[in-house]
Amino acid sequence: MEVVIVPDAKEGGELIAEAMAALLRRKPDALLGVATGSTPLPIYEALANKVAAGAVDASRARICQLDEYVGLPAGHPESYRSVVLREVVAPLGLGADSFMGPDGAAEDLQAACDAYDRALAEAGGVDLQLLGIGTDGHIGFNEPCSSLASRTRIKTLTQRTREDNARFFDSLDEVPHHVITQGIGTILEARHLVLLATGEGKADAVAQTVEGPVSALVPASALQLHPHATVVVDEAAASELKLADYFRATYAAKPEWQGL
Ligand SMILES: N[C@@H]1[C@@H](O)[C@H](O)[C@@H](COP(=O)(O)O)O[C@@H]1O
């Protein structure tokens, strides 16, 4: 696992957007797994700026979703499908046909989960999966005690996650209890995992993810099992890392050609 400490969220976004651009230059039709929440927004902005400036051609990129609420009416502005179309797909100049995600409104939800896992595999697998982290250490919507081998499935949100996400809705009551999420086993199949965490509120979850034991209690700690995982944190989110100085020195000495 590589840990990169950046001064702030904007620099983290720029660094990750450049890694995505480099991937698209090597593989123009790369399948990019994207995350929702506030944290990755600087990444999407930086990548869209690169596309607008002609620094990278994203016209053949494919975008896939990490997770989804269950039961929101089709087209609800806070469904993750709507969010990804609005924040990622449209700014990159892509159409909805470049996008895939699980169907949170399906009648048979488990069948929709299985179909999504199959679709990801048939698409050749995810090349780079962006991740945020919940204050309780969740990735996607894999809440604490999710199986580290889990596949895409239905989960029930913790009260803490519902409260964290209530800011996107008119009230806490409107935050769904149920979600579909790529499983931890599904996420671990992506070729490169890139987690961005910013702000003091994530410091404890980041420390447990990077320096704690691999544990279902902290789902993000499963990144320790992945051969190519990058954790990008700002100073505030890095504030509880015991090895922060080592991570800084390692990154400062990193050969430029290596990329993330
Ligand atoms: N399902 C999403 C996660 O993918 C995201 O990482 C998390 C943190 O969001 P934020 O970046 O807004 O803190 O929120 C939700 O729970």
Write down the residue that tokens 């399906």 correspond to: 106
Q: Is residue 122 part of a domain?
A: yes
Residue 50 pairs in a beta bridge with none
Q: What is the CA(201)–ligand 1 centre distance, in A?
A: 12
Note whether 8 and 252 are within 8 A (CB): no
Share of the chain above pLDDT 90, in %: 97
pLDDT-derived band at 221 (thresholds 50, 70, 90) equals very high
User: Is the shortest distance between the CB of 38 and ligand 1 below 6 Å?
Assistant: yes
Task: Point out the residues that are catalytic.
Answer: 67, 136, 138, 143
Segment holding 64, helix H or strand E: strand 62-65
Q: Evaluate if pTM is beyond 0.95.
A: yes
Q: What is the pLDDT of residue 74?
A: 79
Q: What does pLDDT average to over the chain?
A: 97
User: Which CATH number does the domain housing residue 21 bear?
Assistant: 3.40.50.1360
Q: How many domains does the chain have?
A: 1
How far apart, in whole angstroms, are the C-alpha atoms of residue 9 and residue 239?
14
Structure-token pair, residue 113 = 């989960």
230-250 burial, b at 16+ Cβ within 10 Å, e below that, comes to: bbbbbebbbbbbeebeebeee
pLDDT-derived band at 15 (thresholds 50, 70, 90) equals very high
Residue 229 pairs in a beta bridge with 193
Q: Is residue 259 part of a domain?
A: no
Q: Which atom of ligand 1 is nearest to the CA of 199?
A: 13
User: Is the shortest distance between the CB of 67 and ligand 1 below 6 Å?
Assistant: yes
Q: Distance of CA 34 to CAs 31, 80, 101, 187, 205, Å?
A: 10, 10, 10, 11, 20
Q: What is the CA(125)–ligand 1 centre distance, in A?
A: 22
Report the complex ipTM: 0.96
Beta sheet of 67-69, edge-to-edge order: 67-69, 178-181, 153-156
User: Is the shortest distance between the CB of 144 and ligand 1 below 6 Å?
Assistant: no
The residues, any chain, with a CB within 8 Å of residue 195's CB and separated by 6 or more, are 130, 131, 132, 133, 139, 209, 220, 223, 229, 230, 231, 232
Q: What is the pLDDT of residues 21-34, one digit of tens each?
A: 999 999 999 999 99
Task: Tell me the pairing of strands 2-6 and 229-234.
Answer: parallel
Q: What is the pLDDT of residues 51-98, one digit of tens each?
A: 999 999 999 999 999 999 999 987 899 999 999 999 999 999 999 999
Q: What is the pLDDT of residues 97-114, one digit of tens each?
A: 999 999 999 999 999 999
pLDDT-derived band at 256 (thresholds 50, 70, 90) equals confident
**Furthest-apart CA atoms within the chain: distance in Å:** 53
Average pLDDT over residues 154-172: 96
Closest CA to 152 of 121, 118, 186, 120: 186
User: Is the shortest distance between the CB of 134 and ligand 1 below 6 Å?
Assistant: yes
Average pLDDT over residues 232-243: 98
Q: Is the dihedral of CA 23, 26, 29, 30 positive or negative?
A: negative
User: Is the shortest distance between the CB of 140 and ligand 1 below 6 Å?
Assistant: yes
Range of the domain at 240: 2-253
Residue 224 has pLDDT above 90, yes or no: yes
CA dihedral of residues 72, 76, 82, 86 (deg, nearest 10)? -160
- Measured between alpha carbons, how far apart are the two ends of the chain, in Å? 11
- The three-class DSSP label of residue 60 is coil
Q: Is residue 258 part of a domain?
A: no
How far apart, in whole angstroms, are the C-alpha atoms of residue 239 and residue 198?
11
Q: What is the pLDDT of residues 194-206, one digit of tens each?
A: 999 999 999 999 9
Q: What is the pLDDT of residues 118-143, one digit of tens each?
A: 999 999 999 999 999 999 999 999 99
Name which residue sits closest to atom 8 of ligand 1, judged by CA: 134
Q: Is residue 8 part of a domain?
A: yes
Which of 16, 36, 158 has most ligand 1 atoms within 8 Å of its beta carbon, as the pocket-test mutant?
Answer: 36
